[in-house]
Amino acid sequence: MDLASESVMFSANGKPNGVDDPVRNGTASGGEGGGSSGPGSPHSGEGPSTGKGGADGGDELMKKPAGLLDDKLKKRIRKLSRSNSKDGVLGVAGTPNFVAPHRKWKNSRRSRNGYGRGLPKKGGAGRKGVWGKPGSEVYDELDEDPNDPNFDIDAYNSMHNVELKEIVPQMTEAEVVKKLEAIILEYFEHGDTHEVADALDDLLQPGMKPLVTKTVVAVAFDHKQSQRELTSVLISDLYGRIVTREDICAGFDLLLANLPDIMLDTPDAPHLLGNFIARAVADDCIPPKYAYQSDREDLDQHGQAALVRATTLLSMHDGWGQLDNVWGVGGALRPVQTITQQMSYLLQEYLLSRDLSEAQRSIKELEVPHFHHELIYEAIIMTLEALNESTEVAICELFRTLDSTCIVTPEQMEQGFRRVYEDMTDIVLDIPLAYSILDRFIQRCQRTGSFLSEALVKDIPTRGRKRFVSEGDGGMIKQVNFRHDF
């Protein structure tokens, strides 16, 4: 049974709305129009009572026409039947959960056209003071009327007649050089030429390829021999993949033209550039005739000097085979004996010249900061073998300078001294006075500067000695000591 039928039965039987049924009042009313009764009711009457009740019912029918009552009843039933199906069946009037049906319908967000899925009306854009769904102003196109006096035909055409094309931004030379420098500095750390080639594939444009050689060599001018060797290897590996022979020659031409400006920061730039050109010829990256054009009119004296340097290296006997080591074997790639020999040579040169700046430069060119403890060890051994105070003073001053300029770290300094401590038992066989000379040298270093730690000074070895024969008794054995020891 639906809700409309229940509403009809409730109003017909219970009379909640104060509407009397004209048929039942005319036949079953008793007395003065009291409550309804049945055939067995104590209030039921017969004869005149029934006639009186019928007269009263006729008067009510005359006062309240049946048509009006039917229309009101239909309207009330229609209002009660409009409910929200989502909220369930209405409660009974007078109960706590009873809510007026028209209130439930008013607050419902469901579409009122009888269709839909219970979603908000107008997509959530139907609230008070809202002009549309949030964000609709971005996507909705405005309909412009050509008959509008404010209509702008040029603006309309510019908005609708638009052709979109992909534009690749062109990098300037300064931007390319800046990115190249970052790639080269990273290459000096990892040494992987394939990674550099992959990075240059996406960066370089056809007209910018000569900048590779120019930038790589210019950055290598400010670095050491090991980085210059990496630069020559990079040029050789990029040849044929990223740059051509013409690109490399064009890059060297740019460097030859800018040599006067480069020499302000690197005075020996012509000498270094000649080495790069000779190495490129030996690697078959550029033709040999490029290096033999030292009489070119478009070059100044510095550019011609660079080509003369390259020609000299290429003209040496078996020079092409030796150009693989034009930058030397730097860093930890050299054998330990070679590095130790070079350290011994620079220490001997320092003791003869006493030139601290030259000694510092030579130590930096070795590029072995992890092996500086060998330099300290060799210097102390030279001091012990010299047997004079002038050598002690010179070596002590060298140690103080190396510590103040941070060329040798405190860890390397201490490691070199402790290596001497451990080998004193063997050193004293060749230098009998080694213990006393070492003690005097450490005290001098402690007075000169604070580059020796207190723990290192306390751990200085001393020569132990146990006497059984007195030096003043003519070589006789002391019986007391002899019996006590045995």
Per-residue exposure over 207-221, b if at least 16 CB sit within 10 Å of its own CB, e if not: ebbbbbbbbbbbbbb
In whole angstroms, how far apart are CA 379 and each of 329, 347, 352, 374, 403?
24, 7, 14, 9, 14
Range with the lowest mean pLDDT among 63-67, 214-218, 349-353? 63-67
pTM, to two decimals: 0.49
CB of 89 closer than 8 Å to CB of 6: no
Distance CA 241, CA 72 (A): 96
Contact partners, residue 105, CB within 8 Å, separation at least 6: 82, 83, 84
CB of 397 closer than 8 Å to CB of 448: yes
Instruction: Give the pLDDT score at 133.
Output: 72
**Residue 462 structure tokens:** 């001393």
In sequence order, which ranges of 239-289 are alpha helices (DSSP H)?
A: 245-257, 259-262, 269-282
Instruction: Give the pLDDT score at 254.
Output: 93
Instruction: Give the pLDDT score at 380.
Output: 95
Distance CA 399, CA 373 (A): 12
Instruction: Give the pLDDT score at 15.
Output: 44
**Residue 269 structure tokens:** 């730039």
Backbone phi, psi, residue 82, to 5°: -85, 95
Contact partners, residue 428, CB within 8 Å, separation at least 6: 434, 435, 463
Percent of the chain residues topping a pLDDT of 70 = 65
Confidence band, pLDDT 50/70/90 cuts, at residue 74: low
CB of 226 closer than 8 Å to CB of 331: yes
pLDDT at 8 over 50: no
Instruction: Give the pLDDT score at 450.
Output: 79
Exposed, middle or buried by CB within 10 Å (0-12, 13-18, 19+), for 347? Answer: buried
Distance CA 430, CA 438 (A): 14
Most confident range (mean pLDDT) of 90-94, 202-206, 329-333, 351-355 is 351-355
Q: 246, 301, 251: which is closest to 276 by C-alpha?
A: 251
Q: Which residue segments constitute the domains of the chain, with CATH numbers given?
A: 173-325 (1.25.40.180), 336-459 (1.25.40.180)
CB of 218 closer than 8 Å to CB of 263: no
Distance CA 199, CA 5 (A): 83
Distance CA 143, CA 31 (A): 77
- Does residue 373 sit in helix, strand or coil? helix
Q: Which phi-psi region, left, alpha or beta, contains residue 331 (left: φ > 0; alpha: ψ -120 to 50)?
A: left
- For residues 266-291, give the mean pLDDT: 92
Give per-residue pLDDT as tens, 392-444: 999 999 999 999 999 999 999 999 999 999 999 999 999 999 999 999 999 99
Give per-residue pLDDT as tens, 11-61: 444 444 444 444 344 433 333 333 433 444 434 444 444 444 444 444 444
Give 477's strand partners: 469
**Residue 15 structure tokens:** 């009379």
Distance CA 400, CA 383 (A): 15
